[in-house]
Structure formats: C-alpha cells, structure tokens
Structure 1
Amino acid sequence: MVLPPHAHVVSSLWGTDAEAERHIGYWAERTSAGWVDGVSAHVRNNLIPGFEPTGVGAQYDGHFRQPYFLDRVGRLADTLHQDGTILTVQMILQGGMPHAASSTLSGPVVNQVPHALTREEIDWFVAEYAHGAQQIALAGADGAEVHLNHDDMLEYFLSPLTNHRTDEYGGDLAGRLHFPLRILAAIRGAMGPDRIVGVRLNLREEEPGGYGIDGPDGAIAIARALEASGHVDYLSCAIGSPWGNPSYIQSQHHRPAEWSALAGRVKEAVSLPVVYTGRVTSPAVAEELLAAGHADAVGMARAMIADGKLLTKAQAGRPEDIRPCVGGNECISRRVVEGTPFSCAVNPEAGKEADRSFATRTATRRILVIGGGPAGMETAGLAAERGHQVTLWEAGHSLGGQLRIAANAPCHEDYRSYLAWQERRLATAGVEITTGQRADAQGVEAFSADHVVVATGASARTPDISGVDLPHVHTAYSVLADDEQRIALGEHVLVVAQDDHLAPLSVADFLATRGHRVTLVHGTAAPGPLLSRYILGSILARLDAGGVTLRASEQPVSIEDGRVAVRHVYSGTTRAIERVDSVVLSCGAVPESALHDELRTRGIAADIIGDAYAPRRLVFATKQARELALAL
C-alpha cells in the first residue's frame, strides 16, 4: 500500500506553522500504509527577470530552496519513521509554464506556448534536481520520486507529441529520455545508493500524437529504458491527462481501477516493482488488482482522504465500516475553481486531524435533528459520536434526501454506498431515527430537546418562464425518481440548466442512457462552470457519446407545445428550438426553511443547516455539520 502525493490539497506543508501541523497530522493519521509518497515539492524555475510562471504548481524559487524545507520535511519524516513508515518526496515541475522541450502545445485546452529549453538551461535544471535530492537526504526522507507525467516539463521531453527537437535531446526515445535520465543519474549521485529513486510514469497520453502503451515510443519501452539505466528502484504507473477523459484524478464516471491491466503490461515487461494508482476505491479493489498481477503495490489517495482508518478497518475485518469515497472530486475542484478551502464531501474531519477537536463531551445533551438528508445525517452522527443523545426525525420513508434521488443518475452508485454507510453509522452511534414523521413547531416544542437542528432540505426550484406549468414540463427530481418510467417524455427532451455544477449534466446523461434525444440549454458560457477540469472532461465525453446537444449562453423565455424559445444572454437574440416533446428543469432548489422560521417566532432556539439555509452540495452540508457538531 502506497499513499501517493495528495495532502497538498488538504493543507500546505509550505504554508504557516499551523498549516504545516495540519499537513503532518493528516499523514500521521494514515501511517498504516507503510509507505507515504507524501511530499509534493516543486523544483525551482529558471526564469528571466520579471517572467511570471503560470499553470499548475507555478513556482519561482521552488520548495527545495525554501529555508524551512529541511525542518518541515524532517519533522514529517520523523513522525512517519516512528512506526516504520517510509517517506518519499515527489520532485515536480508541472504545468510546463514556461518550460518545455519545444514551443509546442500539449493539448487542446491550454494554448499558452512554452519556452524551449536551451542546452545551458537543461544543464541548470540537472544541477537543480541534484540540489533537491541533497535536500531530501539531509531532511531524513527515504527517497525521491521523479514526476515524469501529467504535463511536467520532463514529460514534455519524453513525449513525441511535445518534443520536436533535433539535437541530442530529441528524436527517438533514447534522445527524448536523455534529459530525464541525466536528472535521474544526478539524483542518484546526490542521494547515494541507500535511498530510493522512483519514477511516476503515465501509462499513455490522452492526445493524438502522444505515446500509448505499446510501440517504440510506448510506456512499456519507456519502462524498459528506465530500468536499464540502473538509476530507478520502482515505477509508479498512473493514467490520465490534466484536462481530459479521464483526468489524472479520475472521477466517479469511471470504473474502479479501470486501467490497472495497463500497469500489468508494464509489470510483465520489467523486473522493477510496479505501483498502480487510479481510482482504487477500496481494499477489495486493491486486492483484486494485486491478485490479477497488475501491480506489486497499490496507491490510494481519495479513498484514504475519505477514511484515514481504511487500512486498519480492513485489517480488523470491518470493511463495511470504511467510509466510501464518492469520486466527485470536490477535494480538488472546490479549491481550484471556487477558491474555497479543502473539504472532503464525505469526511469533513479530513485535514483537521491535528486539531484533535472531536473529543467526546462529558456533558450529554438531548439533541433533536429534523431532516434525514446529508446535513441532518452527518450532524446526528457526529453529535452522537461525541456522546450526545440524538433523535432524528425524517418526513420521508427513508433517509438520504436529494442524494438518494441523485444516486439514480448514471455513475452515481457510490452515493448509495455512502448512504448505506451513514445508516449503519447512525445505528452504531445510537441515534434514534423516526421516519415518516413530518415535524411541526408544536411537536418540536413538546419534544423539549436541549438543542434543535433544522435540516429540512430544499425543494425543486421552478424558474420564471412562460409555459413552465404545462403538463410536459417536469423537474429533474421527478424524472430521476421515476424508476418505473411512468412519465412519458417522448423522443426529444430539452433540459433547462440553471445550476452551475454537475446536476444538469447528470440529468442529461440519465435521459440519454434511456434513449432520448437530449438538448441541454445553459445560460453560462460553458457547461458546469463550477466543475474543474478534473471531472468536466469525463461527463462531457459521456454526453457527446450519448448524442447530447449543448447550447451555451441561452436562456429559455417561453415554453409551448412542441417548441421552446430561447434568448442569447449576451446578444439578446431570440431563437426557437422546434419539435420538443418534453422539458426537464434542472434549476437548483429553494430552501425549505418554514419550520425554522416558525420556531423562531415561538422563541424556540434552533440552528439551521444545509440546503434549508441555502441549497449547495454534499460537501457544504457535511462541512457545516462538522462545525455545528463542534458547538453542541
């Protein structure tokens, strides 16, 4: 078991002292893996004065040149070494902004032309990597992993797509590997023979002109050349591009360990140990790919964010107690798109382990939680685990709220697993659950709880569009919940998207898989503007394969039988979409806050949480639940 680098999205090892403590505390909670490839460290850029690097991980001085590198990495190494956990440091120059082999673009979504390195600059980088390796050794870490993938400067040299050089650093595979092999030799020389040197390798590129698994330029040939160099101790094999389908952080739209057989091809070709990472969602999935001979070790990142005790629970024979990752990529997307702090959608405690804030309370209080959706369930579970006596009332006949409906969309099966885990958790914690009970202010007052939490959720929002009340207009909720397909939608379904995240795209995917011809109309310039590149490519690929038509920057202004008029939001031009059989509204939700309002008028103190306050997403509900539970 290997934990690949990912804690930099949780908390920065290079930030304030408090952030560094959180970073170290996060890894300390997960040392049962035995091997933490836990430091994402960027190499210094070689820039002309005034040039501003851009892209993922854009750095001026890099991390190895920071005065606190030895202290921070040394403290992490000491923490992990206490129970024998190995620490390796990944050396990165990702983003390729501005450095590359040639002034060539690596894909269709980033169009900034890079700077082609000169021989003198190549020599400079070799020395810089050697310095970084010396720092790794001085800090007491156990080795280095060279980032040779995912739009790293070194991948740009390795790739036939981006390396068009005619000197000794270009041409055939041997020429394209010349620069990376020089760096590996320098790292080995700087660290000595007793430390580990590994390579993170992409199993294939996701763009025409890039390398695949086979052939003279393929991943197998690259792996053999790396082994033949004598500088490499292991290969960490990954998949995906920084933008495509899949991204290198694969979303819920892909099967668990879908590409592990490709790593198995590499393992057959070399004697080096091979690590596979890529949507390994559970210990069972890890065991399957190991048993199939696809790898010698397995990397798990998001699954370990979701449950830091994953391995200890598996070792204890309690796999059902492992909190499942749902693969929605909120852990990365919300930071890079919305600029909000890290939070895991299913584990709000992730990244806050060093705070040690969830000690059991000595004073037990009687808590009433009203609403059994994600916010209510998480609040009830956390409060009960802190020692409170918790009762949960749910108006429906099952827990889960809107998440249970969303689970009917394609590739949303993990949400059912999460809800099943929550139900077991609440039972174990002793939460008293009553379903089919709609709360009113009189009943809440009669219950006489010490604290009341209103988590009554939200209802589908109906936009102000002429004709929206016609019988062939439906909400996404009703369509997704229509298990028996009693709603007659006809052939051509128009989806109105007034939601900036995944929901409208998932509804369109759901309808396309049922055989409908789907048109998705969204007022934004691009679909799903709050979706990052780490998830957007996968759902767009599904929609394109399903024949879904996307119409950007348009808003419906009127709905008639067989016809929808749309207005371009910038030009104001109105156009008609003809032969529309039905319309589905995926337009977000409005809060169900009436109970909270009535409680306030009666003078009954109550907190409001989740969609009942303002409709957002699962990650917002669970994060709010944690903060509220801390205050109870």
Structure 2
Amino acid sequence: MPESVRDSLLFQPIRVGAMELRNRIMLPPHGRLTGDPFGSERQARASTAYWRRRAESGAAWICGMNAFVGNTLIPGFEPTGLGATTRGVFRLPQFRERAAQYAEAIHSAGAYASAQLIVQGGMPHSPSGVLANHTNNQVPHVLTRDEIAWFTGEYAYSAAEAQAAGLDGVELHANHEDLLQLFLSPATNLRADEYGGDEARRLRLLLDVLRAIRREVGPGFTVGVRLNMDELFEGGYGLDGGLALAAALEAAGTVDYLHCVMGNNWGAPSYIQPHHYGVAQWSGLARRFKDALDLPVIYTGRVATADAAARVVDEGDADVVGLARAMFADGDFVAKARTGRARDIRPCIGTNDCLHRVTVEGLRFGCSVNPETGRESEPGPVRAAPARHVLVAGAGPAGLELAALLAERGHHVALWEREHEIGGQLRIAARAAENAAYADFLAFQERRLTGLGVRAETGREASADAVADAGFDVVAVATGARARRPAIPGADLPFVVDGREVLLGSAEAGRRVLVVAMEDHMQPLTIAGHLTDLGSEVTVLYPTPAIAPLVGKYSIGAPLAKLSAAGARVEVMERVAAIEPDRVVSRNVYSGAAREHSGYDSVVLACGGEPESALYEALHGRVPELHILGDAYAPRRMSFATRQSYELALRL
C-alpha cells in the first residue's frame, strides 16, 4: 500500500469506454437534491454549480445526472412513490439546453460527464406484478410485450438525446427496484414468455435495451450498467447470480463498464447505507467481479473517506471508485486527497439526512456536516468589515460550526463550553457503536478551529453575569438541550434513567429494559441498540403510529434489523401513562385502552431534549447583540443546527 493517499493508484489515469480518465474517482448520481437541472433557471444554476465545483476539485468523471426515461401510462393514471415519473426528462423541451450546460461545466474543468437512465420500478410497472420489497403494498401493472418494446425504444431515444446534448456516456440503472432489476430478478420476474423464466430470458430486456442504444449512439459513446452484486432479497439472485449476469453482459459486447453496488430494496442494508455499516464494507465482493471480468469495474457504497477510496483501488477491489455523500460533505474532497491534505476533508458521517430532509419532510436539501453544500451558485461568506468580538456559548454542533464560520470571516471568536469536552449531544451519541463516525466529525471541527486560532475553553460556565461583564459585541447562545423528562407519574423512581446517562456510562440499565420512546428521529433506536450491545433484553414503546417517523426508508432498516436480531420488541401507538415499582401502564393513543408491562428491571427514557435557553433569557437587554440557535432554540437534528449556524454567520 502507498504511504499516503496522494501516492495511491487512485490518482492514476484509466480508460473506461471512450473516456480517458485523469484518475479513478467517479461521482454517481446524487446531486439532484441540490437543484433540479430541468427545473427553474435558479435550480438549474444550482445543479450546474454543484457539479462544476466537484469537477474543478479534480473528479475525473461525473455521472451526476439522474435522468428519468419516459413512462407509458394510460392518461389519468398517476404513478406514485420515490422516482415515479410520467414524462421523461429526455422529452422535455429544455433537455438538450440544460444537459449541454451540465456537460460544458464539467468539460471545462477537465472531467467527463454522463447520465444515468432510470425507470424506477413498480411505479407502476413490473414484469409479473410481484412486489419488489416488503415495505410497499401497491400492486404494480404487468407490462405487455408492446409496452416492453415501447420502453426499449424510449431507452434508445433517451441515450441518443444524451449524446446529442454533448454528454460522454450513459449508465443503465439496473438495480435498486428499477424496472430493469425487476426483470433481472428471479424474485420478481415470473413471466412465462421470452422475457422471463430462466436467467437468459430474464436478461433479455436489458440486452435488448443495450443493443437498441448501441444502434443509436455507436461505439464511441460510453455505455455502462449499474448492477446489484447480490440482491439480498429472499428469492432474488445471490452473488453467484450477480456474477453470472455480469459475465453475460460482458459477453454480449455492448457495455464498457460495470458499476457494482450493494443493498436491497428498502431493507438492511438499503442501497444508500447509513453509518450503521462499515466504510466501503462490500468492496471485497466487487473484487469477485473485477477478477472475473475484463471490463472496468466501479465500486460504490459508503466510501466515506479518502483512505477508503484509495484502499478500494490499491487493493484491487475495483478499477474506479464512486463517491456520492462524501462529496456532499466536502466539495474539495478530491483536491485535498490529491495534495496530501486528507485530514482536512470534512467527513461524511452517514446520517442520510441529506436525503430524508427532502423525501420525508419536503424540506430544502441540507448536509448535516456542511451547510454550504447546495449553495455553490450563491455568493459565499465575505470577509467581515469591521471584525467584531463574538462569544459563542456552547460547543455542540451549532456552536462549533458558528465559531468556525465566524473565524473564517475574520471575526474575533471566543468559544465557551460548560462540559470538559466539546461536542454536546453529538459527543454523547458517538458513544453508541454505530455512531463512531460522529467522533470523526468532532475531531475535524477541533482541528479546524485550532487552525483558525479559536480555542474552545472547556469547563467554562457561561453565566449571565460573566458574559455581560466580558464586553462582547455579539453573543450567540448555543447551549443545547437538557434531557426531556416527560410528566409521567413515576418517572422519578430510582430505576428510571435517561438514555443519555446510559450512553455516557453514568447510569446502568438492568437485564430487562423498557425504553420509552418520545422522539421522532434516531435517538430511541440508538439507545435501544446500545442497550442490546450491553446485553439487555429490550422492549421499546412508541406513542406514534409508526416507528421513528422522521427516519426515512434509506436508514430505518439498519437499526430495526439490529434490534430484531438481538430479540428486541418494538411496539407503536402505546403512550406510557404510569411507571410503578412492579409494572408500567401504557394506553393506546387512539382508543385509550390500557395495557400492563411487567418484569422490567429498568425503564430508560429516550424522549429527546428540551431547550437549554436560560442564558439567552437572562441576557436580554444586557449585551449589544444577542442570538440563539441550535437545540437551545428548539431541539432538532444536526442539519438544522449547522444550517442555522451558516445563516447566522452570513449576517454578522
């Protein structure tokens, strides 16, 4: 192995199809969340600026365009679900103009530009009407031969339009519940005609599409396939089946590369793995494909660090590595890695909030660790004039980000933290095994502040008198949240402890534990998972009608799989009404029907937090300018805290 990332094979050129890549770094589709290239002019500018920044950093190949192929539907039927479309982007009147802008921006920075052709499966089409996952019960429409022929032609038309717009290639999305995967899978393709049955017939649609595309674009246009290595789905193909499909694709002579990925359709792991899984955990399986094929092989899947990207290539797991969420976290990832500054890369911690903010809550895109991502087309922070003396009270995610941003603008920043370590709730959450990446981000922030000359004064209480007497021009209160202890009779009994205390090791839970879940995101699942790691038998009671309603489909499978494997039970619609020495009483949140739960040694509260805003309230009228942010304003997720820090930093 090379001594450093910059000496890695990762930065050696390679040819893929008609593309002479300057290095082995490819960006798969992920940036549409930052701006729709086919939406308004503003959205298109945001999208183009996002990709241009990554190309300028040194990425060799950007397959960033999520390009949906047209759909064939009886008018009036409306497809639903993630990725469902009616009119494909290639049929839009602005397609060529917008795709050309995307290509030109990338080409001008020395990189290649391509698009991924997508027909999200089951929305509503499928080969046999068999559902592709266990989290959706919407019955699909079974395609007729005529409809299959129509789709084949539409794929070919779409590829030709991409070529005409100036793109360098296309990739067929034959994985993750795409229509093409549904035809490849023995679990979902039960047809008895020439498009189903044995492996060769299940492969026919994909081969027909590839041949039709080649007839349109010729040999000088790069065409690849993104494929599940193993479906990880009962009745689907396994690793040997994936290898057989790959060999058949290579033998057909119509593809230039194979893009290997992992994850099933909304399971565990999903196809965008959260922080519960290891970095580049499945790259070793990609080596099986690389060893079996002459085609270049790409591996994508939680490649969160420069070291991991280099390892995938240097150890021979793949020829090219795909980086997606790591590019949300740091747009200069490639430049920093190439110049020996890998420690300066802002780490992706895999929360997947970049996805769930949009898909679950309909909020604007936001990266948990980098609030500047998605704003590449907007004016950035400018040097402060005049520089001001600012106190940031609290060194959790909001305070750390604000202190760094203000120092980068030239303000004189003091950072006071009551605890003896920085990090706030993130530091506590990092004590759970699956949250280890959180500590990496805190270490990055500490290095960042040190480089800016900002020292976090830990163990320093920011009392109202001390702050008012210090003479700061601006005070920003980011004092976080205290544990929320709901008004449940018996919640003060000695065997009732807070989950944060369990994570910190300052409280012990017994062998049989009841977790009271009154927080809508990951905290109750994290605490319950940590308890199973400690050997406890766990039951979790949620008052909501769904488990962790703000954790989206990309992430929910991982913690639930862990709890299920450990024998934990999770129940919904149960509000804890009373805690007594020998029993816990819950009531159904709708009917009010009571239930008793007995035999528990401990009750652990996973009820989120309440704002720690006393300092803010005490400082009103005592300092020239006062702000509050993060959990001290209202407890939410990290992306809320860091985005609020960015907005405030722009205004000071």
TM-score norm. by structure 1 comes to 0.97
Gapped runs of 5+ residues in structure 2? 1-24
- Of 42, 53, 62, 2:88 maps to 62
The correspondence of residues 568-579 of structure 1 with structure 2, limited to 5 A, is: 568-579=588-599
Aligned residue for 2:387?
364
Counterparts of 1:147 and 1:509, CA distance in 2: 34
Note the alpha carbon deviations across 1:336-388, whole angstroms, 9 max, x for none: 11111110000000111111322323431211111111100000001111111
1:259 to 282, 285, 296: 282
Structure-1 residue corresponding to 2:429:
406
Change (3 A) 1:487 1:362: closer
Q: Which moved more, 1:593-602 or 1:373-382?
A: 593-602
Structure 2 distance, partners of 1:619, 1:337, is 14
Contact persistence 1:56–1:95 (CA under 8 A): no
Any idea what the Cα deviations from partners look like across 1:244-275, whole Å, max 9, x if unmatched?
Answer: 00000001111111111211111111100000
1:511 is matched with which residue?
Answer: 531
Give the equivalent residue in structure 1 for 2:622: 602
Q: Which residue of 2 aligns with 1:204?
A: 230
- Whole-Å Cα distance in 1 between the matches of residues 533 and 400 of structure 2? 31
Contact map agreement 1:369 1:391 (CA 8 A) in 2: yes
Distance 2:432 2:68 in 1: 39
State the alpha-carbon separation in 2 of the partners of residues 39 and 456 from structure 1.
41
SS of equivalent to 1:415: helix
Partner of 1:389: 412
Q: Distance in 1 between matches of 2:489 and 2:203?
A: 62
Correspondent of 1:231 among 254, 275, 280: 254
1:514-560 deviations in whole A, cap 9, x for unaligned? Answer: 01111111111221111001000011000011111112110111111
SS of 1:519's partner is: strand
1:188 maps to amino acid: R
Q: Does 1:492 align with 2:512?
A: yes
1:19 — aligned with what? Answer: 43
What amino acid does structure 1 have at the position aligned with 2:632?
Answer: A
- For 1:73 and 1:363, the matched residues in 2 are separated by 43
Q: Does 1:452 align with 2:475?
A: yes
After superposition, the Cα gap between the structure-2 partners of 1:488 and 1:382, relative to the gap in structure 1 and judged at 3 Å, is closer
Output the CA distance in 2 between the equivalents of 1:323 and 1:359: 21
8 Å Cα contact 2:474-2:623 kept in structure 1: no
Counterpart of 2:160 (choices 106, 126, 134) is: 134
| 1:335 aligns to 2:358 (yes or no) | yes
Q: Any conservation in 1 of the 2:468–2:623 contact (CA below 8 Å)?
A: no
Answer yes or no: is 1:303 the counterpart of 2:326: yes
Q: Which residue of structure 2 lines up, in the alignment, with residue 553 of structure 1?
A: 573
Which of the residues 551, 557, 572 maps onto 1:537?
557
Task: Using the TM superposition, name which of 391-400 and 438-447 deviates more.
Answer: 438-447
Distance 1:339 1:95 in 2: 22
Q: 1:462 aligns with which of 472, 482, 485?
A: 485
Distance 2:386 2:49 in 1: 28
1:154 aligns with 2:180: yes
C-alpha contact 1:55 1:95 (8 A) present in aligned 2: no
Distance 2:503 2:363 in 1: 30
Which residue in 1 is equivalent to 2:466?
A: 443
Q: How many residues align?
A: 626
Q: TM-score, normalization: structure 2? A: 0.94
The answer as to whether partners of 1:392 and 1:434 remain within 8 angstroms in 2 is yes
CA RMSD of superposed structures (Å): 1.2
Q: Structure 2: which amino acid aligns with 1:315? A: R
User: CA contact under 8 A between 1:306 and 1:346: conserved in structure 2?
Assistant: yes
Instruction: Give 1:299 deviation, angstroms.
Output: 0.4
2:76 equivalent to 1:53: no
Q: How does 1:154-233 map to 2 (within 5 A)?
A: 154-214=180-240, 218-233=241-256
Deviation at residue 297 of structure 1 after TM alignment: 0.5
How is 1:102-113 mapped onto 2 (pairs within 5 angstroms)? 102-113=128-139
The separation in 2 between residues aligned to 1:601 and 1:449, in whole angstroms, is 13
Cα distance in 2 for partners of 1:298, 1:270 equals 16
- 1:227 partner SS: helix
SS where residue 105 of structure 2 aligns? helix
- Show the counterpart of 1:117: 143
| AA partner of residue 296 (structure 1) | D
Three-state SS of the structure 1 residue aligned to 2:299 is strand
Selected match of 1:423 from 428, 438, 446 = 446
1:78 corresponds to which of 98, 104, 118? 104
Q: How many Å separate the matches in 2 of 1:489 and 1:478?
A: 10
CA contact (8 A) 1:109 1:243 kept: yes
Residues 473 and 623 of structure 2 are in contact (CA less than 8 Å); yes or no, is this contact kept in structure 1? Answer: no
SS at match of 2:27: coil
1:28 maps to a residue whose letter is R
Query: Deviation at 1:603?
Result: 6.1
Provide the residue aligned with 2:15 in structure 1: none
For the Cα contact (< 8 Å) 1:599–1:605, is it kept in 2?
no
Task: Spell out, residue by residue over 1:593-617, the C-alpha distance to the aligned partner (whole angstroms, 9 max, x if none).
Answer: 1111111143643010000110111
Moved over 6 A (4+): none
Deviation at 1:491, TM superposition (A): 1.3
Query: Given the superposition, is the C-alpha separation of residues 387 and 563 from structure 1 closer, same or farther in structure 2, using an over 3 Å criterion?
Result: same
Q: Distance in 2 between matches of 1:489 and 1:370?
A: 33
Paired with 2:205 and 2:121, the residues of 1 have a C-alpha distance of 18
Q: Is the 8 A contact 2:243 2:289 kept in 1?
A: yes
The reply on whether 1:473 has 2:496 as its aligned counterpart is: yes
Native 8 Å contact 2:472 2:623 kept in 1: no
